[in-house]
Amino acid sequence: MTIRDRQQQLEIDTLSDSAALAANSRGRKQPETECDIRTVFCRDRDRILHSKAFRRLKQKTQVFLSPQGDHYRTRLTHTLEVSQIARTLARAMRLNEDLTEAIALGHDLGHTPFGHAGERALDQVVRFGFRHYEQSIRVVEMIEKEHRGLNLTYETLDGILNHTRGRLPDTVEGRIVRLADRIAYINHDIEDAVSAGVLSEEMLPRSATEVLGTGKSRRITTLINSLLEYSEGDRLEYSPEVSQAYDELYDFMFENIYVNTESNVKSEEYKVYDLIAILFEHFTKNSDQMPEFYRFTAERESVERAAADYISGMSDAYATRCFELLFIPKSWTLR
């Protein structure tokens, strides 16, 4: 037996009946020779971890644009926190940790610069619309590895595509990541908002904090424990009290942080819409100014598709620098 064979047998012997088994994967679109060491889900995780799109997440906004300080979250740190919460749940429920981690690490690969403001901006200007979870699939299937893609398994692709809305993922591991994403961002966004001085723990709805607790760690622990206590098989749910408290907390954050453009930390977002729209218009009219990689997409598919791929892949800093180089006059001095 190879190491992979032993690992697959270990999954069969120890994981829950609800778990996705590597040996039973629906496979890849392009068949490959199996690795002697890693299961298919291990290979998915490693491919995502080593991808260019994953590295770019470190310079993409999570919620707050261009914060001054080293401790605010980026899209990369958010991704790692989702992975940690999802793996904790998967291990406790005897689910497939490798598949869970692969989905978690890949779920935001297609996210735009400037967080959801950038996503909304692109969605407004792209004729066929733009959604980051669909772009994540495009990244791993058509953009990474010089257009060859990562050739991930069906289960990982399904979890990435359905991590945020629409139908539920086919695997319990995918549904775990979907919940972990919500657990992570609501609590970590609260912590960042408190650090930014736009929220305090005392401002949160008391009816929610009395159930979930005060502080990020306590709330996350409450949510995880509730899931573990009330879930069974492939049915994942919180207690009614915890579910209601989470919804109250989400509604509060949505009204006061996520769409509140009057707050200091969100007041700059209107500029994102102009920046994205101007860049998109420029590159659709001047496709020769995009890198050769995206000019290939323009020729094979459309200029709009290429411009959307190019802009969505930019980091915050790269998008800003690109705008400055194209539209801001350079300083000069007389000799």
Mean pLDDT of 115-122: 92
Tens digits of residue pLDDT in 216-269: 999 999 999 999 999 998 999 999 999 999 999 999 998 888 776 565 556 677
* DSSP conformational letter for 58: G
Q: Which residues pair with 28 in a beta bridge?
A: 153
If 0-12 CB within 10 Å is exposed, 13-18 middle and 19+ buried, where does residue 223 land? buried
Give the integer Cα–Cα distance in Å for 155 and 176.
13
Identify the band that residue 329 occupies on the pLDDT scale cut at 50, 70 and 90. confident
Q: What average pLDDT does range 128-139 have in this prediction?
A: 97
Task: Determine the pLDDT at residue 138.
Answer: 98
Residue 182: which pLDDT band, with cuts at 50, 70 and 90? very high
Residues 50/125, Cβ–Cβ less than 8 Å: no
Radius of gyration of the chain (CA): 21
Enter the tokens of residue 23.
């040996």
DSSP code per residue over 255-290: IIIIS-TTSTTTTTHHHHHHHHHHHHHHHHH-GGGS
* Averaged pLDDT for residues 279-294: 97
Mean pLDDT taken over the chain: 93
pLDDT tens, position by position, 35-62: 999 999 999 999 999 999 999 999 898 7
Assess if CATH 1.10.3210.10 describes domain 3-327: yes
| pLDDT recorded at residue 266 | 60
Specify the pLDDT at position 198: 83
End-to-end CA separation in angstroms for the chain: 75
Mean pLDDT of 272-286: 96
Q: How far is CA 105 from the centre of its chain?
A: 8
- Burial bucket for residue 59 (CB in 10 Å: 0-12, 13-18, 19+): middle
pLDDT, position 193: 86
| pLDDT at residue 70 greater than cutoff 60 | no
User: Across residues 69-74, what is the average pLDDT?
Assistant: 69
CA 130 – CA 6 distance, rounded (Å) = 42
Helix orientation angle between 172-196 and 97-106, rounded to the nearest 10 degrees? 50
Contact 138, 147 (CB under 8 A): no
Predicted local distance difference test score (pLDDT) of residue 165: 85
- For residue 50, the SS3 value is coil
Full-model pTM: 0.94
Are the C-beta atoms of 9 and 163 separated by less than 8 Å?
Answer: no
How do residues 149-169 score in pLDDT, each as one tens digit? 999 999 999 999 999 988 999
Q: What is the pLDDT of residues 79-103, one digit of tens each?
A: 999 999 999 999 999 999 999 999 9
Instruction: State the DSSP string of 69-85.
Output: SSSS-BHHHHHHHHHHH
Cα torsion 58, 61, 66, 71 to 10°: value is: -60
Summarize the confidence of residues 292-302 as an average pLDDT.
96
Q: Other C-beta atoms within 10 Å of 81: how many?
A: 21
Q: What is the pLDDT of residue 17?
A: 97
The residues that bridge with 74 in the sheet, in sequence order, are: 61
pLDDT band at 77, cuts 50/70/90? very high
Using CA atoms, how far apart are residues 272 and 281, in angstroms rounded to an integer? 14
Residues 3 and 37 sit within 8 Å (Cβ to Cβ): yes
Q: Name the nearest CA neighbour of 163 among 230, 78, 57, 61.
A: 78
Residue 71 reports pLDDT greater than 70: no
The pLDDT tens digits for 195-225 are 878 889 999 999 999 999 999 999 999 999 9
Is residue 73 very low, low, confident or very high in pLDDT (cuts 50, 70, 90)?
confident
* pLDDT for 334 beyond 80: no
pLDDT at site 13? 98
